[in-house]
């Protein structure tokens, strides 16, 4: 039995659109065409933000929405390579496409990192937070979950915690599991684990708090990355899902993020 589609966000085609584009020539050219046809609002006054670019620029746009505290949904049109978060490029009847679009709500991960010098940094990640060795030396990490030591020592290139939306990105390349949006799970995945060699990671409840402690910090420096923000020489990193913040991404009917994540599990 097929599940019913999610309810529409709008009672009529949205009229106030804000356009953002990556600097590529194709995207800038399309931006000019769309603005001439539909106008261009300030993002804070728009019904929908339309993002022209690839997945990387889409993540940048979603971070801007989060940082500004906006509740405006974002609709992507693909002018990149993969376009997993994007929709096909078509400027015809754009308000009606947006009217019929289906929404996915994404909650970011919140990273709290402390460096070996005692500096503190915070960042949000919609894809993943990962730790990675900075030199030829393998990293040594201790992993705690909700205050309990689950892995006293992981010798590896690194480790990552991904959101369900990000489970098909770096996490999948590191042979981590794909997680459905409705699963309320976070994949914890090692990157090139050396010891214990057979540890393949864990699926954690979305309420879990994961702590990474860097062992032998002077000899084996480690960086932490939350989407595009990188912190060098970290000593301790805590990560949890921030349920108080969210962004809404729009997809054409039949091409929702949940469907794309499901389809990815059957790709050869």
Which sequence positions are flagged as catalytic? 55
157 marked ligand binding residue? yes
128 marked ligand binding residue? yes
69-100 core/surface letters (b: 16 or more CB in 10 A; e: else): ebebbbbbbbbbeebbbbbeeeeeebbebbbb
- Candidates 220, 212, 230; CA nearest to 134 is 220
CA distance 249 to 159: 27
165 marked ligand binding residue? yes
115 marked ligand binding residue? no
Neighbouring C-beta atoms of residue 6, cutoff 10 Å: 12
Name, in order, each residue with C-beta under 8 angstroms of 75's C-beta and a sequence gap of 6 or more: 48, 49, 50, 51, 87, 97, 98, 101, 249, 250
Backbone dihedral region of 69: left (phi > 0), alpha (psi from -120 to 50 degrees) or beta? left
Given a contact cutoff of 8 angstroms between Cβ atoms, the answer to whether 105 and 66 are in contact is: no
173 marked ligand binding residue? yes
168 marked ligand binding residue? yes
CA distance 171 to 201: 11
**Residue 46 — φ and ψ, nearest 5°?**
-90, 155
Binding site membership for NAD(+): which residues?
Answer: 55-56, 127-128, 157, 165, 168-173
Binding site membership: which residues?
Answer: 55-56, 127-128, 157, 165, 168-173
């Amino acid at each position: 039995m097929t599940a019913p589609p999610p309810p529409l966000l709008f009672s009529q085609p949205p009229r106030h659109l804000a356009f953002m584009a990556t600097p590529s020539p194709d995207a800038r050219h399309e931006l000019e065409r769309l603005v001439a046809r539909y106008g261009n609002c300030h993002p804070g006054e728009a019904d929908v933000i339309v993002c022209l670019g690839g997945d990387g620029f889409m993540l940048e746009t979603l971070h801007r929405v989060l940082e500004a505290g906006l509740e405006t949904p974002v609709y992507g049109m693909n002018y990149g390579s993969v376009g997993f978060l994007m929709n096909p490029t078509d400027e015809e009847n754009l308000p009606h496409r947006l009217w019929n679009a289906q929404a996915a709500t994404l909650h970011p991960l919140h990273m709290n990192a402390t460096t070996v010098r005692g500096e503190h940094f915070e960042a949000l990640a919609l894809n993943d937070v990962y730790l990675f060795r900075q030199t030829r030396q393998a990293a040594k990490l201790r992993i705690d979950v909700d205050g309990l030591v689950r892995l006293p020592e992981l010798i590896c290139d690194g480790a990552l915690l991904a959101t369900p939306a990000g489970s098909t990105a770096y996490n999948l390349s590191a042979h981590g599991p794909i997680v459905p949006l409705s699963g309320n799970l976070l994949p914890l995945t090692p990157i090139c684990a050396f010891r214990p060699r057979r540890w393949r990671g864990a699926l954690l409840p979305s309420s879990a708090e994961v702590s990474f402690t860097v062992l032998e910090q002077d000899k084996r420096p480690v960086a932490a990355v939350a989407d595009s923000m990188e912190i060098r020489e970290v000593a301790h990193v805590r990560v949890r899902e921030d349920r108080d913040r969210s962004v809404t991404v729009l997809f054409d009917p039949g091409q929702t993020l949940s469907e794309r994540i499901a389809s990815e599990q059957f790709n050869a």
